[in-house]
């Protein structure tokens, strides 16, 4: 008999704390104190509980591994699950370090999947600890969830986790976003692409019944195909400003050149011209030159400008021209954002946002495009 799958559970007990009382995020002791003063209740344990209840239906199929007390043990017990408890924490005083330790410990135990309840901050901690080493999936519980690593709901997180453990869900690399905290609290959003986690997703199932295409691509193959298509069509007279993300990186891989995963790089004649540029450097580079921008939706909400690629500023976009903006995305990515949901832009400049809005084409494969709504 095959050994049972191991499922790791990490609950960030204070995630979501500030949300209901109108605070934006719960980083830093001062904010936590304020939240508690305002009478905030911890949300994430409740969310984790919902997920575990969904999983409890199949508890014979996996072994649960978790951290003590409020970091997972408590909610597990509440569901009648009997987890293996590892690590140690200072009760009531958990910090980001504990989250990272938990992830690290579980990776060492070779768990098959880490479920974590929290927000972008928690995702960032997990990412820092294990990067893409172990598959992970977020139970949405934080206030800020711009990252694409979260399931749509706690129940869905449980379902997807179960699917994955049963070998029915493939993995893809999903963005972990990092928002400038202070800016956020002052009502300005400024998000950075922090890194990636490998996350299970619900691929569309193939019913080999009657007809239509007989294949479903996994994420990586889809990205390779898009990359082949773009690479073939590159015009030697243009500078190509390549945004961050795995789909764009696949283009660089196809050309056989290096690219930063999280930054904006420029390519010409299939060679790297400059890497990880900021806005100023970009403007200087493209002065009086022909250029195109290639971007992909970043994060869980499908921003094509404004999250993770602010270096491609409204100035840069204006200089290059709206018609020279190329958007690429795999169909899986579009579905994960939500079929029929629009892609979003937030460049900071209303006019540029307006020009970018409307219906735009997104390249989704070789000789395949999709028309999607883009709104500010």
Partner 1 sequence: MKDRNVTGYHAVRWGEPIIYELGRKGRRGFVIPRVEAAVKAKAGDVISSVPEKMRRKAPPEWPQLSEPEVVRHFIHLSQQTFGVDSGINVGVGTCTMKYNPKINEALARSPRITELHPLQDEETVQGILEIMYKLQEWLCEISGMDKFSFQPRGGAHAVFTNACIIRAYHKLNGELDDRDEIITTVVSHPCNAAAPAAAGFKIVTLYPDEETGYPDIEALKAAVSKRTAGMMITDPYDTGIFDSNIAEYIKIVHEAGGLVAIDQANANCILGRVVIGDVGADLCHFNLHKSFSTPHGSCGPGSAPIGVKEELAKFLPLPTVEFDGSKYYLDYDRTHSIGKVAEFHGVVPNVVRAYAWIMTMGAEGLKETSEVAVMNNNYLLKKLLEIRGVSLPWGKRHPFRMQDVRLSLEKLKEETGIGIDEVNRRIVDFGVQRCFTSHEPWIIPEPFTPEPSETASKQDLDRFAEIFRQISTEAYTDPEILKKAPHNCAISKVDLTPSSDPKKWAMTWRAYVKKHR
Partner 2 sequence: MPVHQYIPNSAPEIKKEMLKYLAVKDVEEFFVDIPEKIRLKKRLQLPHPTPELEVKRNIEALLSKNKNCNELLTFLGAGCWPHYVPAVCDEINSRSEFLTAYTGDVYTDLGRYQALFEFQSMIGDLVALDVVSFPTYDWATASGDAAHMVVRTTGRHEILVPKTTSPERLSVIRAYCERLAEIKPIDYDPTTGQLDLRDLRRKISSRTAAIYMENPTYLGFIETEGEEIGKIAHDNGALYIVGVEPLSLGLLTPPGEYGADIVCGEGQPLGMHMNFGGGLLGFLASRDDERLVSAMPHRLITITSTQHESEWGFAYTLPKRTMFAAREKATTFTGTATVLWAITAAVYMSLLGPQGIAELAEAIMQKSHYAMKRVSEVRGIEAPIFKSPHFKEFTVNFDKTGKTVHEVNKRLLEHGIQGGKDITKEFPQLGSTALYCVSEIHTKVDIDRLSAALEEVIK
Q: Which residues of this chain interact with partner 1, rule CB under 8 A?
A: 54, 57-58, 155-156, 159, 162, 202, 204-207, 209-213, 216, 331, 334-335, 339-341, 358-361, 364, 367-373
- Give whichever of 109 and 206 is closer to partner 1, judged by the CB atom: 206
**Secondary structure, 3-state, 211-234:** CCCCCCCCHHHHHHHHHHHHHHHC
Residue from 211, 256, 339, 371 touching partner 2 (CB under 8 A): that is 211
Find the shortest distance in angstroms from Cβ 277 to partner 1: 31
Find the shortest distance in angstroms from Cβ 201 to partner 1: 12
Beta bridge partners of 198: 173
User: Binding to partner 2 by residue 212, rule CB under 8 A?
Assistant: yes
User: Binding to partner 2 by residue 288, rule CB under 8 A?
Assistant: no
Contact of 52 with 79, CB cutoff 8 Å: yes
Q: Two tokens at 281?
A: 């450097």
- Give whichever of 113 and 334 is closer to partner 1, judged by the CB atom: 334
Q: Two tokens at 129?
A: 């600890």
Q: How far is CA 9 from the centre of its chain?
A: 19
The span from the CA of 50 to the CA of 12, in Å, is 15
The window from 2-10, 57-65, 210-218, 350-358 that contacts partner 2 (CB under 8 A) reads 210-218
3-state secondary structure of 130: helix
Find the shortest distance in angstroms from Cβ 1 to partner 1: 15
Residue that the structure tokens 């193959």 belong to = 221
User: Binding to partner 2 by residue 56, rule CB under 8 A?
Assistant: no
- Residue 304 to residues 159, 288, 301, 313, 345: CA-CA distances in angstroms? 29, 25, 9, 12, 6
Residue from 39, 92, 167, 208 touching partner 2 (CB under 8 A): that is 208
Contact of 160 with 200, CB cutoff 8 Å: yes
Residue from 53, 216, 260, 324 touching partner 2 (CB under 8 A): that is 216
- Give whichever of 140 and 365 is closer to partner 2, judged by the CB atom: 365
Residue from 103, 225, 352, 356 touching partner 2 (CB under 8 A): that is 225
The span from the CA of 268 to the CA of 65, in Å, is 49
User: Binding to partner 2 by residue 153, rule CB under 8 A?
Assistant: no
Question: Angle, nearest 10°, between helix axes 246-255 and 219-233?
Answer: 60
Residues 178-207 that bind partner 2 (CB under 8 A): 206
- Give whichever of 216 and 315 is closer to partner 1, judged by the CB atom: 216
Residue that the structure tokens 């979501």 belong to = 16
Q: Choose the contact partner of 335 out of partner 1, partner 2, none; CB within 5 to 8 A by kind.
A: partner 1
Residue from 105, 131, 181, 228 touching partner 2 (CB under 8 A): that is 228
Q: Which residues contact 123 (CB under 8 A, 6 or more apart)?
A: 116, 138, 147, 149, 150, 176, 177, 197
Question: Angle, nearest 10°, between helix axes 120-130 and 96-108?
Answer: 40
User: Binding to partner 2 by residue 209, rule CB under 8 A?
Assistant: yes
User: Binding to partner 2 by residue 221, rule CB under 8 A?
Assistant: yes
Chain positions contacting partner 2, by CB under 8 A = 206, 208-218, 221, 224-225, 228-229, 365-367
């Amino acid at each position: 008999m095959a050994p049972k799958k191991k499922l790791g559970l990490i609950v960030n007990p204070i995630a979501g704390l500030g949300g209901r009382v109108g605070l934006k995020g719960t980083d830093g002791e001062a904010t936590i104190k304020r939240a508690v003063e305002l009478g905030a209740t911890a949300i994430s344990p409740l969310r984790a509980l919902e997920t575990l209840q969904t999983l409890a239906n199949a508890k014979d199929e996996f072994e649960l591994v978790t951290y003590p007390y409020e970091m997972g043990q408590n909610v597990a017990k509440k569901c009648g699950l009997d987890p293996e408890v590892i690590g140690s924490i200072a009760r009531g005083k958990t910090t980001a370090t504990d989250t990272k330790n938990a992830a690290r410990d579980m990776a060492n135990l070779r768990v098959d999947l880490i479920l974590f309840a929290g927000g972008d901050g928690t995702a960032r901690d997990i990412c820092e600890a294990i990067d893409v080493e172990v598959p992970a999936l977020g139970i949405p519980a934080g206030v800020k969830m711009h990252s694409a690593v979260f399931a749509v709901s706690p129940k869905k997180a449980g379902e997807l986790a179960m699917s994955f453990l049963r070998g029915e869900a493939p993995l893809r690399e999903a963005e972990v976003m990092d928002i400038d905290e202070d800016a956020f609290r002052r009502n300005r959003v400024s998000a950075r692409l922090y890194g990636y986690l490998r996350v299970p997703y619900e691929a569309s199932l193939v019913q080999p019944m009657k007809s239509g295409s007989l294949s479903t691509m996994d994420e990586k193959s889809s990205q390779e195909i898009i990359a082949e298509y773009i690479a073939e069509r590159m015009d030697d007279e243009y500078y190509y400003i390549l945004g961050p993300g795995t789909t764009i990186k696949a283009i660089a891989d196809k050309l056989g050149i290096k690219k930063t995963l999280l930054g904006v790089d420029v390519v010409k004649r299939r060679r790297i011209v400059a890497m990880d540029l900021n806005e100023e450097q970009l403007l200087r580079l493209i002065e009086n030159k022909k250029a195109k921008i290639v971007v992909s939706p970043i994060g869980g909400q499908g921003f094509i400008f404004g999250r993770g690629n602010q270096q491609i500023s409204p100035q840069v976009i204006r200089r290059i021209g709206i018609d020279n903006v190329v958007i690429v995305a795999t169909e899986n990515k579009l579905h994960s954002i939500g079929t029929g949901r629009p892609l979003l832009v937030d460049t900071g400049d209303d006019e540029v946002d307006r020009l970018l809005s409307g219906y735009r084409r997104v390249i989704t494969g070789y000789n395949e495009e999709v028309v999607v709504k883009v709104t500010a």
